[in-house]
Amino acid sequence: MADGQSGGRPREGTPEYEWLYGSGGNRGPQPTEPRRRASGHEDEATRLMATGGDDAGLYPAPPPQQPPQGRRRAAPPPRTPQGPPVPPPGPPPGRAPGRPAAGAPRRRRRFPVLRVLLLLLVLWLVFLVAVPIWAWNNVERIDAMPTGDRPGDQPGTTYLVVGSDSRAGLSEEERRTLGTGDVGGDRTDTIIMIHTGGGQPVVVSFPRDTVVDLPDGGSSKINAVFAEGGGGDAGAQYLVQTIEQNTGIRIDHYAEIGMGGVAQVVDAIGGIEICPEDAIKDDGAHLDIPAGCQEVDGTTALNYSRARCSKNGPPECPLVRSDLDRVQNQREVVSAVGSTAADPLNVLLPWRYVALNKAATSFIAVDEQTNVVEAARMGLALRAIGGGARNCTVPLADSSAESWDETRSTALFEAIASDETDSITDDLCTATGLEP
């Protein structure tokens, strides 16, 4: 090149190359010094550097300086997609930091509460079982089943329940209150036979003045058979044998309830309701009650079942009551006792439960074959008198209640012995024993 210098550099004074080599003689090209980066929040890697010369904005900013080793900045907190960084969770309101949550101790205490409830339930079940077993030890045992000629085994179960006029176990004050008098010997003024089996339960009452044949010959009123047999075990055997001989029905279990037992049981369950059709006044039984339904205590309930006076009687007993009405009153009392005793309160209230079991076993005697289970079944049978059972009086020839209607009584007893109680017709089972 003619106008070039050695080494390829243009000669001085050539203006068209000054943009590349600059002016100033022989000095070499001097790069533009980058300005210091301004403080701000722009991205340093992409921000263009502003300069004061003509070159402003032509060069990108240099990469940011790396922080010294050993002084690394902490990682920024995570950002949510649409908001600022999420702060770490703090303690719930009302609780200081580091304090355990209020729910944790309660969850731990729940198990002791459940254990306590379970323990109370177990103790309650033990109580329900232990009280009858304890009370059962007070029950007197009687060798009531006779030996010798008896009806064979029959389907179903037949109970003979006897209400004794025995004064044994009663104090002088209790005898005066109950109006027992000084009658000697033991009489069974209440005799009820209960049969349960495959059919409907049947209850048969025997009026106290009914005349029956005795096993060793002769005859007697049925309420005197127990005493004629000698009372106690012998009297019970004699009565069972007499009933079996006259009915053809085998007696499986025997229960004898003393006079004081009825009154104490009624008081233990808080009284019963009776509904006499007429007002009754009986000085001998210490009874004076109006007609209609009413709540009575144990003494009144017992005297009601024993009263023999009603309206339209002679002057010495202005209200003479027939034996048939008395039988119905006895069934009414037994039914009310069974229904009221089944009230859940008599189980849920401990004092009632204890009093009921104690009273029910203090004046009762059962045969030696009756255990706790059989006694419970007998109680259910007594409860059936109030509902679900056929309530009958042994078929009678007339209102004197001294003799049976042979045809109807035989048919009734055969149906019971064969456990075909559903076949018993209304003419065989009546409340008074008289033919409808």
- pTM exceeds cut of 0.75: no
Element at 365 (helix H, strand E)? strand 364-367
- pLDDT band for 139, please (50, 70, 90 cuts): confident
Query: d(Cα 269, Cα 266) in Å, to the nearest integer?
Result: 5
Tens digits of residue pLDDT in 141-195: 999 999 888 999 999 999 999 987 665 555 566 556 655 555 445 778 889 999 9
Nearest CA among 346, 344, 261, 252 for reference residue 305: 261
Statement to judge: residues 384 and 435 lie in one domain: yes
Statement to judge: residues 340 and 375 lie in one domain: no
**pLDDT of 324 over the 50 cut:** yes
Statement to judge: residues 374 and 242 lie in one domain: yes
**pLDDT of 406 over the 70 cut:** yes
Q: What is the mean pLDDT of residues 100-121?
A: 72
* Number of structural domains the chain divides into: 2
Round to the nearest angstrom and report the end-to-end CA distance of the chain.
160
Assigned domain for 8 exists:
no
Assigned domain for 36 exists:
no
For the chain, what percent of residues have pLDDT higher than 70? 66
Q: What is the mean pLDDT of residues 245-262?
A: 89
Statement to judge: residues 276 and 376 lie in one domain: no
The 8-class DSSP code of residue 8 comes to G
What confidence score (pLDDT) does residue 319 get? 47
Assigned domain for 253 exists:
yes
Nearest CA among 212, 154, 218, 156 for reference residue 188: 212
Statement to judge: residues 374 and 358 lie in one domain: no
Residue with tokens 């004074």: 13
Assigned domain for 101 exists:
no
Assigned domain for 12 exists:
no
Q: Which of 52-66, 252-266, 342-356 has the lowest mean pLDDT?
A: 52-66
Other beta carbons less than 10 A from residue 410's beta carbon: 15
What confidence score (pLDDT) does residue 429 get? 94
Statement to judge: residues 374 and 341 lie in one domain: no
CB 195 within 8 A of CB 385: no
Statement to judge: residues 176 and 316 lie in one domain: no
Query: d(Cα 75, Cα 358) in Å, to the nearest integer?
Result: 83
Domain end point (choices 308, 333, 362) = 362
Domain around 286 = 262-362
Statement to judge: residues 243 and 386 lie in one domain: yes
Pairing between β-strand 390-393 and β-strand 202-205 as defined by DSSP bridges? parallel
Q: Which of 10-19, 63-72, 123-132, 346-355 has the lowest mean pLDDT?
A: 63-72
Domain end point (choices 362, 389, 411) = 362
Assigned domain for 313 exists:
yes
Query: d(Cα 150, Cα 158) in Å, to the nearest integer?
Result: 14
Domain harbouring 331, CATH code: 3.40.630.190
Tens digits of residue pLDDT in 264-303: 889 888 899 999 888 888 777 788 889 899 999 988 998 8
What confidence score (pLDDT) does residue 268 get? 87
Q: What is the mean pLDDT of residues 53-62?
A: 51
What confidence score (pLDDT) does residue 419 get? 95
What confidence score (pLDDT) does residue 184 get? 47
Statement to judge: residues 285 and 310 lie in one domain: yes
Assigned domain for 223 exists:
yes
The 8-class DSSP code of residue 404 comes to B
Statement to judge: residues 243 and 274 lie in one domain: no
Statement to judge: residues 294 and 241 lie in one domain: no
- pLDDT band for 401, please (50, 70, 90 cuts): confident
Statement to judge: residues 149 and 163 lie in one domain: yes
Domain end point (choices 331, 362, 393) = 362
Domain harbouring 380, CATH code: 3.30.420.590
Pairing between β-strand 364-367 and β-strand 140-142 as defined by DSSP bridges? parallel
**pLDDT of 243 over the 90 cut:** yes
Tens digits of residue pLDDT in 26-50: 555 555 555 555 554 445 545 545 5
Of 156 and 106, the structure prediction assigns the larger pLDDT to: 156
CB 226 within 8 A of CB 164: yes
Sign of the Cα torsion 424, 196, 242, 258 reads negative
Residues contacting residue 305 through CB under 8 Å, at least 6 positions apart: 163, 190, 262, 326, 329, 330, 332, 333
Backbone angles phi, psi at 140, to 5 degrees: -80, 140
CB 274 within 8 A of CB 304: yes
Assigned domain for 88 exists:
no
